[in-house]
Structure 1
Amino acid sequence: MLRLLSTPRLLLAPALLAAVLLSACEASRRTRETANPDDGTATSEPTRRSERIDRKEQKETADLRIMDSPNRLVAAVVESKVQYKVPREILMQQFNRQFDDGTVVDKALVRPIQSKAKTKEKPVYYLVGMGLRNGMFRAMALPLELSTDNELYLSTTAERYMLEGRGCQMCYFNFEGDKITGTVCEDNSGGGTCTLTVVDNNTFFPPKR
């Protein structure tokens, strides 16, 4: 009798265990469905957080590129007119520092040069400073790079074209197309001369720290 009673108990135990497991699985499935409804709202927050992190990393990368970039924004071209992003007084100071020989620059400007052979193309822009050293005319021109959004940048690899006048009140740059190739004295009737010196790079703007 005891043996007959124990047999149903052994048979019922697996059945009860299976029922409990099925119930637990169903509850777990309902919990997951509640946490992750079909509208995707439960997963949208991690996605937005990931997007915010990506945007932050992109901004930090862009900031590092700006700091490491050898180019410095000088001006912008708006409706064919130059708008200075660096005050011209600061540009004059930088010219004085770049000459580093006692030259005092009292005029700084951005000048466009349009090649006659490239009238359909945009002009080349030069940053120009003019002044005196010991009463002698001095000038410097640095070519600027024009970006796709019409901003003008000075690269540390841009050449320095420097003029020095001797017995000449005013010297001018000579151009072939939009390239500086020489110089001429405004009035050399008194034997005045102008000389052109070209240096391959510049330190016009001190490096960022």
Structure 2
Amino acid sequence: MSWQQAVEKTVTGMGYELVDCGRSPGGLLGVFIDRVPERVYPSGPGEFITVDDCELVTRQLQLVLEVANVDYGRLEVSSPGLDRPLRKAADFRRFAGSEIDLTLKVVFQGRKKYRGLLRLAEPAADSEAAPQADSFELVFQDGKEDKVLGFTIEEIREARLVPLVDFKKKRKNAGEDAADKTQESGGHEE
């Protein structure tokens, strides 16, 4: 069994999804894990990987890699990040409805890079056949109109989720905290 197979078998056996793994020349073995939406985890409910999840997987991988006699300098287990890569058909199906950045292998209509809303491919209006299982669409803005780019996984070089960060919510909560402190101190700001 190769080290990649050992990592994948361990991670999936623990109920996590293996997003990616790789080795660097300096001896770093990097493993990126994600939660499977319908599963309950020991670290508690939620849709994001926690430090506890990473620690749990790290401990198990250290044992497995030692038994498998895999030589590495350092093991790093982490989440795939807010800009999670999409590689498998299951990734594209799971994140349908999300905004993604897509880079094609070959130039199409003068460009390779697109940003838009990912969706499952719909059958052509004049066809009763279902779309291919691994066919997807990207709805993107071209000028002032929406366009649809159909693609398969084999046609893409890279696809990533577009990070969604809501700074307004954080600022609003910070403003509420400041107002609470003002009220607690008798109306005077500290």
Range class of TM-score, shorter chain: under 0.3
Q: Max radius of gyration: which structure? A: 1
Report the structure, 1 or 2, having the larger helix content: 1
Which protein has greater RCO, CA pairs closer than 8 Å, 6+ apart?
2
Q: Give the TM-score, by structure 2 length.
A: 0.24
Q: Give the TM-score, by structure 1 length.
A: 0.22
